Amino acid sequence: METRYAERVVAHIRELCAKLDISAEDCEKAVEYYRKNRKLFQGSKPKNAAATALHVAAGVPLGRLGRPADIAEAMVFLASAGAAYITGQTIVVDGGATLPEVRPAG
């Protein structure tokens, strides 16, 4: 069960989606991002938390937020024989969000 604060944030996210003509699917991704990362938004006003969730979702070049399965698949690969010769590397699983040529959304 969501708190009253969380319900207000979700309502604001959906309001912003409607105003900005964001697809229902992308809007639900932003709602899901907020729900999974609520602690990041503690102390902020519901409207600010809603805008932040949408902003983060819009800044990923692959067009979606990451899922736990994305991390798990990278870990499985690194543990496999196919990655036997990979050493000392940083593997970034972020949908391209940290690429130098990607500018933040906004």
Residues 6+ apart with CB under 8 A from 62: 95, 96
What's the pLDDT at 105?
Answer: 54
Using alpha carbons, select from 47, 60, 50 the residue that is nearest to residue 105: 60
For the segment 34-71, what is each residue's pLDDT rounded down to a tens digit?
888 777 777 777 777 777 777 777 778 887 777 777 88
For the segment 61-101, what is each residue's pLDDT rounded down to a tens digit?
887 777 777 888 888 888 888 889 999 998 988 888 888 77
What's the pLDDT at 86?
Answer: 92
Select the more confidently predicted residue: 85 or 7. 85
Report which DSSP code applies to 63: S
Q: CB count, 10 Å around CB of 84?
A: 8
Terminal C-alpha separation, the chain: 32
Residue 104 has pLDDT above 80, yes or no: no
pTM for the model stands at 0.48
Measured over the CA atoms of residue 102, residue 19, residue 44 and residue 67, the dihedral's sign is negative
For the segment 16-35, what is each residue's pLDDT rounded down to a tens digit?
888 877 788 888 888 888 88
Cα–Cα dist 44/47, whole Å: 8
